[in-house]
Amino acid sequence: MNGFLGLSRRIDALNEWVASKAIWLVLVVTLISAGNAVVRKVFNTSSNGWLEIQWYLFSAIFLLCAGYALKRNAHVRIDVLMGRFGPRVGAWVDIVGTLFFLFPAAILVVYLSTGVFLDAWHSGERSANQGGLIFWPARLLVPVGFSLLVLQGVSELIKRIGFLTGHVKAIVEESGPTEEEALAEEIRRSRGIKGDAQ
């Protein structure tokens, strides 16, 4: 089991590294979007290429960070069973969900999107818009992003099995309060301070 847990740690590190680089795309896409808006308003001109690069980068952020979101347990899920039956049942639910839902769907997307990417690569497919971009970089993001998601699924599966066999103490790392929870706590604190001042 220790070898598998080592593999899990390497997969986690890979998705952490990819996410730490992809987060900078938020700044890039924001600057491009702001610059494009200013040029359009001030000079009454624009470029389809600049609009499309925003879409590419936005896609890259979500696709390349999907594995990281799974690692941090930040994906959308329904915790009916988790909250009612405890962590062991939750681990089994995650195992079944990973094996029968995540893996089949994500592997199918990798398989199908790889063919689409290769077609775009070989044909030199371009946007139909004047001044638009080539398609293959955007098409490549789909199989890469879903491959990272599959790898993280493998890591999460190893951790759940490790938890059930006693090799792992906690399934999900503690990430602290969410941004919403932190904001709510800050509002409560500021109201408390104002109340004391009165």
Does residue 196 have a pLDDT over 80?
A: no
The burial class, CB within 10 Å (0-12 / 13-18 / 19+), for 138 is: buried
Q: Give residue-wise pLDDT tens across range 60-70.
A: 999 999 999 99
CA dist 43 → 2, 32, 40, 46, 47 (Å): 61, 16, 6, 8, 12
Query: What is the structure's pLDDT at 108?
Result: 97
180 domain-assigned: no
Query: What is the structure's pLDDT at 198?
Result: 43
178 domain-assigned: no
Confidence of residue 1 (pLDDT cuts 50, 70, 90): confident
31 domain-assigned: yes
pTM listed for this prediction: 0.78
CA dist 179 → 61, 74, 172, 176, 182 (Å): 19, 12, 18, 9, 5
129 domain-assigned: yes
Query: What is the structure's pLDDT at 167?
Result: 81
| Mean pLDDT computed over 9-37 | 91
Paired strand residues for 134? 126
75 domain-assigned: yes
Q: How many folded domains does the chain comprise? A: 1
Is residue 65 a contact partner of residue 18, using CB atoms and an 8 Å limit? Answer: yes
Q: Give residue-wise pLDDT tens across range 69-109.
A: 999 887 766 665 566 777 787 788 888 888 999 999 999 99
Q: Which of 7-21, 48-62, 116-130 has the highest mean pLDDT?
A: 7-21
Q: At what angle are helices 24-43 and 2-22 packed, to 10 degrees?
A: 20
Q: Give residue-wise pLDDT tens across range 173-190.
A: 545 566 666 777 777 787
Domain that holds residue 79: 2-173
112 domain-assigned: yes
190 domain-assigned: no
183 domain-assigned: no
